Amino acid sequence: MILQGDLEVFSLKSLKPMILKPLKEPLSAGGYGAFPSAALDFPDDSIDFLKLLVKDPVTTFPGRISGDSLKNIGVLDGDWCLIQKGIEAKPNDLVAATIDDQFFIKRFKPKYSDRNQLQTLKLKSANPDFSDFDITDETEFYLWGVITWTFRNWKKL
């Protein structure tokens, strides 16, 4: 299924396990260190990536992101995401929403009163070149799902 706006949404075609063997050693992202043991090239544990990424296959949909409105938080044009429907959006979550019949992915920014009642709702961009959406009673708005994962292809094979 392809929708207008910032997001293309697809359905999961297969629920077969995707088993990969992880490294046992954490991957350091800072500074130089000693080389890990060569024995770590042969881990004996495994991870089912589909099970790790998808908690409910019926309500989870992959999507491809279009545009750079979230580039300042590392979500770029062409990235992929997983969207789960039916879970509650929390402040600062990334959400997929329709606004005036167009699909968007934005940061969820509600503001609550002292009595925990919603006062205002903003769907925020993370790029000053893009506008935020102030959701009002007049806005045609539907919160479609919560983004649970984003992915980027670093090396085209």
**Residues marked as catalytic:** 69, 106
CA distance 111 to 91: 9
140 within 8 A of 148, measured Cβ to Cβ: no
Token pair belonging to 25: 């050693």
SS3 string, 109-149, reads EEEECCCCCEEEEEEECCCCCCCCEEECCCCCEEEEEEEEE
Q: Where are the alpha helices (DSSP H) in the chain?
A: 49-53
- DSSP annotation of 22: P
Length of the chain: 157
